Structure 1
Amino acid sequence: MTKEDFKNYFELLPRQAWLAEKEEQMISLISSCKNKTQKKLVFELLEDFRYVDYKLFIRYLEDIADYIINDSGFDINKTQIVGMVMDSNPDSSQWILQFLKPILTKKGWNNVKITTEFHRAVRKLNKDGLTNLILIDEFIGTGQSVDGRLNYLEEKANEDYVINAIFLAGMEDGISKVQNRFNDFRCLIPLKRGITDKYKSPEKEEAISQMLDLESQLLPIINKKKLTDYSFGYGKTEALYSSYGNAPNSLFPFFWWPYDIKETLRNSLLIRNEEGLGL
């Protein structure tokens, strides 16, 4: 990076303190930009970034627990807190639920039923009368996965039920697509699209062009995973969000895609573990 790049980086740190421990990754990221316009775009996107570190994560979980206990209106004996996953592969909802357990216990809800796999939650609804569901996950992107879970629930449920949802973060577009399908819906960190909702023409078109050029430096196919499916974030969600855990695939891939065009492992700013994204 040039002296000007370092100046911009250090000016960014008071607003994005998490980047202080990622100087090497920032050098790699900015050094891969081809021109000043691309560097400017990357710094501007990082200014708007929402990063949840461990301390902030626990604070948000306190809010989620308070919602479950005090604001959901549900009886503990009829309630199950439900994750998004449909199989045995770990995901961010299971990560959230694991951290949430001791917080709920501390607040007096030690015996609430927590169901990590969504299909099992439907069985418990039908068999055990746990008809109040609270769907929990870290992030909502396009809303497609949430829609799929709700369709499955409508198809398989044999009992009347009430379902609420609370997400740590999510895209406003995805939220608007699904929130009316819930009895109550909460998202603690709603997000706008990083480029489309930030810039006006002609700056918007220029930013899109520059980001596409940055993505052209990334390996286009990893096993059967196509970069085009993740361009501008999965579903073109343009997310500028991550936590200290696994980065969401809704994030611009320039910040996390593991390999460059030469099949070299990148020292990426953020990490996403996803099956199939390894050589």
Structure 2
Amino acid sequence: MIIKEVISDKYAEQLYSLFERKKWRIEEIGKYSVYDRFCERLAELENDTQRDLILDLTENFLWVNSGMYEKYLIDAFYKLFQDEDWKPEKGKNIFICPLLPERDFEKKKSSTFMLYLCESILLRTYEEFQDGQIRICETPEVVKEQKYRDAMGAIILIDDFIGSGQTALECLTYLKFLQEEGKKIYILTLVAQKEGVENIQKETGISVYAKVVREKGISDRYDKEEAEEKRKEMKKISRLLQAPKGMDLGFEGSESLVAMNKTPNNTFPVYWCERKGHTHAPFPRKENVKTIRVEKKTEGEENSERRG
């Protein structure tokens, strides 16, 4: 931990106590710990009113690190299996597929990481999976093949986080043919915003099974008048940090207080936004870590290379 007098003893002690209550590591290997970053971010705010707001909201912050993923996943599956709506067609396969919109089929997303967890020994021992074979699909486009649809007893669309529900709705639009064929569709996630769950249910009638369902960080926690004041203060903070346009309260105004392997942009920007000239964010989502892959060539490009 880097010792810096960037904030008053009052806030340093409050933050330290908060980290201990939430069992977040205070000292880490590397130049900047999450605690150090948080201290810097609090120091950058304009006044104590803003600092008090962030500390108060952080009491309700959920940080699901990679070591917690399998436990959360198992609990989410348990919720699904306990629901009376869990009725896959007997004698057929259960497909597990990432909750991806078509535009992201070639990208490495959190939902594709979830597929690896679904191959664990624990899931292989589930009674609910013993009567059928599990088929894990890399992308939703796999199930467009008729042979797979004929063998499908149910499909589980999986992700680690659902915010506004927009991504899920795009994926379900792509897979509309499954609903039209009467296939059983389930959505499973580790964490979801209540608003997103309700949007999906309202638009499609499909239920979402999550280990944790979260309400809005400000609007659902305070009375109407106080919430309005706190939203105004949060917007000031987001503008101070030069948050992306339209993200003052998180994507689609989600007001989320969640960090996963990667912090969702549904979360208030004060926790993840980093712009030139500003301090480090405690839970950054910047693109300094990227996955590279071989780019697929079109048939025309391949023919051109052969001729060349």
Give the deviation of 1:159 after TM superposition.
Answer: 3.6
Q: Which residue pairs with 1:228 in the alignment? A: 245
The amino acid of 1:169's aligned partner reads: V
Match of 2:21 among 15, 19, 25: 15
Deviation at 1:57, TM superposition (A): 2.2
Separation in 2, partners of 1:116, 1:266: 38
Superposition pairs of residues 116-127 of structure 1, within 5 angstroms? 116-123=138-145, 127=149
Is 1:213 the counterpart of 2:236? The answer is yes
State the alpha-carbon separation in 2 of the partners of residues 127 and 203 from structure 1. Answer: 51
77, 83, 98: which one pairs with 1:83?
Answer: 98
In the alignment, the residues of structure 2 paired with residue 258 and residue 131 of structure 1 have an alpha-carbon distance, to the nearest angstrom, of 45
Match of 1:223 in 2: none
1:264 match: 277
Which deviates more from structure 2 when the two are superposed, residues 42-51 or residues 54-63? 54-63
Which of 114, 119, 137 is matched with 1:96 structurally?
114
1:181-260 alignment, distance < 5 Å? 181-182=204-205, 184-219=207-242, 227-243=244-260, 245-259=261-275
Q: Report the CA distance between 1:142 and its aligned residue.
A: 1.1
| Residue 87 (structure 2) aligns with | 73
TM-score (norm 1): 0.84
CA distance 1:172–1:156, shift in 2 (3 Å)? closer
> 1:217: how far off?
2.1
Which protein is bigger by CA-based radius of gyration?
2
Provide structure 1 residue ranges, at least 5 long, that are not aligned to the other structure.
221-226
Report the CA distance between 1:207 and its aligned residue.
1.1
Residue correspondences, number:
266
Contact 2:40 2:280 in 1 (8 A): yes
Distance 2:206 2:219 in 1: 30
Percent identity, please. Answer: 22
Q: Spell out, residue by residue over 1:190-242, the C-alpha distance to the aligned partner (whole angstroms, 9 max, x if none).
A: 1111111112243222211211111112235xxxxxx1232211101000011
Displacement, 1:127? Answer: 4.9
RMSD (Å) for aligned C-alpha atoms: 2.7
The structure carrying a bigger strand percent of its residues is 1
